[in-house]
Structure 1
Amino acid sequence: MTARPSATDATASPPTPDGVPLFGNGLAFAQNPVDALERWATLGDVVRLDIPGQEMYLVTGPTLIEQVLVDDHESFTISPAQRETFSGIEDHAVTTTTGERWERLRKALRPAFTRDAMARYADRMVETTRTYVRAWDDGDQIDLYREMRQLTVTVLADALLDVDIRGREAVVMNAADALVDRANFRRPGQLLPDWVPTPTDRRFKRTVTELDAFVEDILTERRGTDRGEDLCSVLLDAHDAGDLSLAEVRENVVAMLLAGHDSPSVALTHIWRVLDEHPDHRATLAEEAQTVAESDRPASELLSELEHTRHVVAETLRLYPPTLGVTRQATEPVTLGGYDLPAGAQCLLPQWPVHRDDRFWDDPTAFDPTRWERATDRPEYAYFPFSGGPRNCIGRHFAKQELALVVATILASVELAVSVDGPLTFTPSLQLRPEPAIEATVTR
């Protein structure tokens, strides 16, 4: 177990990593956020970061993360960085709103994510994946990350929105790329005033306009058809009841399309990569997949039999969380880990170092899905890939179900031999996308 320093009294200041003049700790963060977070987390469960113009704290103690997200959640709100990142694309979405509007949006979205809804989506997830994989020929060399993105966009649109998006995936993917590029800590123009136009900003506005028009067309079409129980229907029913504006309907569909495909596609890419490195686990998953493929029962009933598959998903999300972390801002003075933080303090709660902390995980950097078979007394928030508390990811059950069913469905048809072009590094942005090219050779 690694000891961490803590405050002896509430007047003490948290440790601060060494930085460089003018940029403080910002330069190291932009160069390699994963490496920086791992190093800084060893200084303590609360670390003050020297970020010019910001009162920023790194919080990596599970009990303190739970305090921020759950116990004292009313003393925190979403951070300015989160609002700025999604400004112009999700201003009226559940991801960026607070207070009464957030509560109203969350309530309106909830019927699309119930247990019964998940059961309805399961068969469509499987069938959409089967159809997609049939296009892969034996011996094909595929861009693994791109294929997983196109697949997750298609699965999400079909299952959650009841929309056939095939042939139009690029509209969503281009907007997601522009959003990630705008939030990239290394991008040129990052430090320029907002009113200075940059190529990144112009691309962002263009792709957002295209995505908004695409979603508006979907909603116009759906308003003239019989409603179901999918997300589009649920939101349009809420609009008809006077609970949501059309802007709120549109931007929440946009939010689901973006977040609902990007994180699962990153997770799937890592799953195939680690399975290629661990053929014993891949063989176990293939056995589970074949059993499911030969069954005529509903896919939702088969999830319980995909035990090792679900453990592989959980372990991959532990080692390679798709997002950089959760951010919050204190709305009043708070005390965390014995340190007094002022109102306005921004807190970064990163999954990567917490999920790999040897205080809570045996052999923390090893890929070991069997660890999820064993009962432990580790703190709940030593693992939080979908955030937590009232503002947890509303689509977390959809994502976990999708990952397990997609993996099993693909493994029932093909094997993927994966190759990575260079060391594994990540885009320094809101999504920890893999930077090197990752290819796979298909064997049917």
Structure 2
Amino acid sequence: MRDPSVSLFMRAPHSPPGDPVVGNALRFARSPFDFLDTLSSSYAEGVVHLSGMAGPGIYVVLDPDLVQRVLVDDHARYRKPQLRPELVDPLIGEGLLTSEGDLWKRQRTTLQPAFFTSRLRGFGDTIVDFTRATTAGWRDGGELDVHHELGVLTVRIISRLLLGVDLSRADAVDVAEAMERVGETLALSPGNVVRPPWLQTPPPREYQQAIRELEDVTARITAMHDPGGDDVLSLLQRAIGDDPDAFPADERRDQVMTMLLAGHETTALTLTYALSLLSATPDARAELRSEADTVVDGTPTWGDLASLDYTERVVHETLRLLPPVWALFRQPLADARLGEYRIPEGAPMMLPQWALHRSRRHWDAPLTFDPDRWRETKPAEVAAYFPFGAGPRACIGRQLAIVEAKLILATLFAEWDVAVTADELPRRAAITMQPTEPVPAVVRRR
């Protein structure tokens, strides 16, 4: 779909000074989050061109109004680019996260009922029960890797809620650890950023092994599944039964892999980063404990959600300051006009939550963890805040993610103090922003 406002005489975006041949690629790959901070503070223009990456380079969109243009107003003019298909395709194939066109529309329509609010109301007890089962194994005063614990917990929750299967802790550990190895391979590095798109190398052996382990669990989930409910697998199986030609042969496998990846990881990361930020902000942690004491009568319930106001603010402030999904990517289907700039057909575009969520142009004291900034502000009204994307391709599970994070935090703080002891959490930029090391925490029973 050609944009009729595009002109050959439009301006080209600014490009930061780069190195010979590789342009901006190495500097970006070595420290992507610092590099995005520099772009955000140095360029008031809406679009910046990074040379030396992905052939034509990458166009970074730093204006929230232009982000909304791409994701919402003109969404039909853009698609998701195929970034590192040699790695992503074997992992999630044509699941909901990567599919396009009519296939994506069929998938989204088919699976949407699994995320209806009417269905979410039945999830509260399950989320709380799995959380308490996790903490039952904790020792008062003990130290643990809280990111690992939360990863295993959210795998089990998502398997029950979205896939209709009670996954064993052992299988959940296998999934969490395999996803860790997947993240290591998908992380940005100087080598994979400067490599020409046409030069593809076989996936590392460790990556292939991780996918095999995930496929083994996926096969067990499919075998254990009892159809007939409103979970993702049941909805998909009924749709395939009605029209088998509408979906690829590996559809079940791809959707289970997608739900295991996208369904658990962003929530586990949000909770990990929330606990880290709360540990470094004693007043906020005290406020969260006080709310849990006031609202929760022993065990949180769905009915408590509306009163967990400060807890929700903590979740949104975590998603702003340390967004697990650090950037979205699009490419125009034809030459496109974005603000005053021309974006060539097929050129990769980056829409970085990391930069816009933390920009002093859009936030007061942007690097300060301040849940109260959301006291009078509704997240949906802030263009510079889009942790789950926006428009038709916004995350299908965004409401579930907020509900899950609130109930898990309330359950934890009703019975435990969780103090992350690491001063810094080194992070890598993969599909999500992930800790590169275990996240140590001391847990004490209240």
TM-score norm. by structure 1 comes to: 0.91
Kept in 2: contact 1:423–1:436 (CA 8 A)? no
Per-residue deviation, residues 99-123 of structure 1 (Å, max 9, x unmatched): 1100001111101000011111122
Tell me the residue number matched to 1:270.
273
Indicate yes or no: 2:64 matched with 1:65. Answer: no
Query: Is 1:250 the equivalent of 2:249?
Result: no
Equivalent runs, 1:2-41 vs 2, <5 Å: 11-41=10-40
Cα distance in 1 between the residues matched to 2:363 and 2:293: 32
CA distance in 2, matches of 1:201, 1:187: 16
Q: Which residue of 1 aligns with 2:48?
A: 47
C-alpha distance in 2, partners of 1:233/1:304? 30
Looking at structure 2, the residues matched to 316 and 86 of structure 1 have their Cα atoms a distance apart, in angstroms, of: 27
Measure the CA separation in 2 of the matches of 1:216 and 1:330: 37
Q: Which residue of 1 aligns with 2:439?
A: 438
Report the CA distance shift for 1:134/1:377 in structure 2 as closer, same or farther (over 3 A). Answer: closer
Residues 239-388 of structure 1: matches in 2 within 5 Å? 239-242=240-243, 244-245=247-248, 247-294=250-297, 299-375=301-377, 380-388=382-390
The counterpart of 1:186, out of the listed 179, 186, 189, is: 189
In structure 2, the CA distance between the partners of 1:331 and 1:394, relative to structure 1 (3 Å rule), is same
Q: SS of the residue aligned with 2:58?
A: strand
Residue 295 of structure 1: how far off its partner (Å): 6.3
Q: Structure 1: how far apart are the matches of 2:126 and 2:238? A: 22
Q: Normalised by the size of structure 2, how large is the TM-score?
A: 0.90
CA offset digits 1:308-359 (Å, max 9, x no partner)? 0000000010000002200000111111120111111211000011011222
- Code of the residue aligned with 1:61 in structure 2: it is D
Q: 1:248 to 1:403 in 2, by over 3 A?
A: same
3-state SS of paired residue (2:144): strand
The secondary structure found in structure 1 opposite 2:170 is coil
Q: Distance in 2 between matches of 1:174 and 1:437?
A: 12
Distance change in 2, residues 1:237/1:187 (3 Å): farther
Q: Distance in 1 between matches of 2:186 and 2:25?
A: 14
Displacement of 1:246: 5.0
Contact 1:326–1:348 under 8 Å retained in 2: yes
Contact 1:239–1:246 at 8 Å: present in 2 too? no
Distance 1:101 1:189, change over 3 A: closer
Coordinate RMSD, CA, aligned: 2.3
1:159 paired residue number: 161
> CA shift at 1:273, angstroms?
1.0
Cα deviations across residues 346-405 of structure 1 (Å, max 9, x unaligned)? 110000110112222111111111111124899632000001111111111111111111
Give the structure 1 partner of residue 129 of structure 2: 127
* Residues 195 and 359 of structure 1: CA distance in aligned 2, closer, same or farther (over 3 Å): closer
Map of 2:3 onto structure 1: none
Say which SS state the counterpart of residue 440 (structure 1) adopts: strand
8 A contact 1:149–1:262 mirrored in 2? yes
Distance 1:430 1:303 in 2: 30
Shift of 1:31: 0.8
- The question of whether the paired residues in 1 share the 8 Å contact of 2:227 and 2:233 is answered with no
How far apart are the structure 2 equivalents of 1:399 and 1:328? Answer: 23
Residue by residue over 1:415-444, the C-alpha shift from the partner in whole angstroms, topping out at 9 and shown as x without a partner, is 012211x64431132221123442111101
Contact 1:152 1:261 in 2 (8 A): yes
Give the C-alpha shift of residue 205 in structure 1.
Answer: 1.9
SS of match in other structure, 1:57: strand
Matched residue of 1:58: which SS? strand
2: CA distance, partners of 1:163 / 1:144: 24
Structure 1 stretch displaced more, 303-312 or 88-97: 88-97
Alignment-mate amino acid for residue 46 of structure 1: V
Q: Report the residue type matching 2:418 in the other structure.
A: L
Relative distance call for 1:249 and 1:187 in structure 2 (3 A) is farther
Q: State the identity %.
A: 34
Aligned partner (choices 48, 73, 88) of residue 86 of structure 1: 88
Structure 2 Cα separation of the partners of residues 377 and 274 of structure 1: 19
Tell me the equivalent position of 1:237.
Answer: 238
Task: Give 3-state SS (helix, strand or coil) of 1:54's partner.
Answer: coil
Q: Could you tell me which amino acid in structure 2 is paired with residue 403 of structure 1?
A: A
- Cα distance change on mapping 1:78 and 1:274 into 2, 3 Å: same
Q: 1:168 to 1:436 in 2, by over 3 A?
A: closer
1:106 counterpart letter in structure 2 = R
